[in-house]
Chain A
Amino acid sequence: MNRKWIFTFVAFVIGFMLAIQFKTTQEPVVRDTRDIRELRNEVEQEREREQQLSSEIKKAQDLLAQYGHTLDEDHENIDVVLDQQIADLRTEAGLTEVRGAGVVITIEPFYDELSPNHMRRTPTPERFRYLINELNVNGADSIAVADERLISTSAFRDVNGITHLNYRRLPPLPLEVKVLTDDPERLHNRMVVSESVEYFEIDGFLLTVEQVDDLILPGYDQTPRVRYMEEVKEG
Chain B
Amino acid sequence: MWLPIIGLLLGITLGIMTEFRVPAEYSSYLSIAVLAALDTLFGGIRAHLQETFDSNVFVTGFFFNILLAAGLAFLGVHLGVDLYLAAIFAFGVRLFNNIAVIRRMLLSKWQAKRSEGQA
Contacts and interface: CB of A to CB of B under 8 A. Distances in A.
A11 B8 contact: yes
B44 A14 contact: no
B58 interface: yes
Interface string B30-44: 110110011011001
Contacts of B14: 15-16, 19
Contact of A14 (B6, B27, B38): B38
B95 to A, nearest CB: 13
Nearest to A28: B21
Contact of B30 (A2, A6, A15, A17): A17
Contacts of B30: 17, 20-21, 24
A18 B34 contact: yes
Given A6-B55, A25-B27, A15 B8 contact: yes
A23 B21 contact: yes
B7 to A, nearest CB: 4
Question: How big is the A interface, by class?
Answer: 20 to 34
B4 A16 contact: no
Interface of A is mostly: helix
A13 interface: yes
Contact of A15 (B15, B24, B59): B15
A14 B8 contact: yes
Contacts of A2: 55
Interface in B1-30: 3-16, 18, 20-22, 24, 27, 30
B48 interface: yes
B53 interface: yes
B11 A13 contact: yes
Given A10-B37, A12-B7, A17-B15, 16 more contacts: A2-B55, A6-B58, A7-B7, A8-B3, A8-B6, A9-B7, A10-B7, A11-B11, A13-B62, A16-B11, A16-B14, A17-B33, A17-B34, A18-B11, A19-B13, A20-B22
Closest 3 CB pairs of A and B: A19-B15, A15-B11, A8-B7
